[in-house]
Amino acid sequence: MTRVVAQGTFDLLHPGHVHYVEDAATYGDELHAIVARPSNVTHKPKPILDARQRRDMIAALDAVDEAHLGDPDDVFVPITRIDPDVIVLGFDQHHDEAEIAAALADRGIDCRVERASAREPRYDDELLSTGDIVDRVLSRRE
C-alpha cells in the first residue's frame, strides 16, 4: 500500500484545496492530510479558522482517508508518525521540493516529494485562493 501525505493550511476551504487533495490521492492508496498549526504558518497571514475546524473540514473530503493536526513545534513529527511513501506539495505552496527531500533524508524518512498539478478557474468569477476569498468578503462588507 502506498501512503501519501498532503499538507497545508487549508483555511477557508475552496476548489483549489479540493483539487490539491484529489490530485494528491492519485499518487497512492491512502491519503493523509496534515493541517498546519497557526504557529507554523509564517509565510502568510495566520489562519482565520481554528486548526481543529480546518482539520475537520479537510477530513470531510472523500479523497482524504485521515486528517491530522500538525505539530506546533516540529512539522516533521506527523510525517515521522505517518511514514509516507510520497509527500505531494500543493501547486503553489512556497516549499522547495529539494529542501524538503533533504530534510526528510536528514531525518531518515525515505519518501519521494512530488508537486500537485495546477487547477485553473473553470469560470470567470471562481476563486481559488483564500486570500482572494477574504478580499472579496471585505470588499462586499465595505
pLDDT tens-digit readout, 7-45 = 999 999 999 999 999 999 999 999 999 999 988 888 888
Q: Does 10 carry a binding-site annotation?
A: yes
pLDDT at 63: 98
Q: What is the pLDDT of residue 42?
A: 83
Write down the pLDDT at residue 110. 93
Put simply, whether the predicted model's pTM sits higher than 0.85 gets the answer yes
Q: Is 2 part of any known ligand binding site?
A: no
Query: Total structural domains in the chain?
Result: 1
Write out the residue range of the structural domain in which residue 47 sits: 3-141
Q: Is 76 annotated as a binding residue?
A: no
* Residues 8 and 36: beta-carbon distance below 8 Å: yes
Residue 38, marked binder = no
CATH number of the CATH domain containing 77:
3.40.50.620
Among residues 132, 131, 94, 91, which one has the least CA distance to residue 114? 91
**Known binder of ligand: residue 15?**
yes
- Select from 103, 134, 122, 119 the least CA-distant residue to 18: 119
User: pLDDT tens digit string along 97-131?
Assistant: 899 999 999 999 999 999 999 998 899 989 988 88
Residue 92 marked as a ligand binder:
yes
pLDDT the model gives residue 41: 86
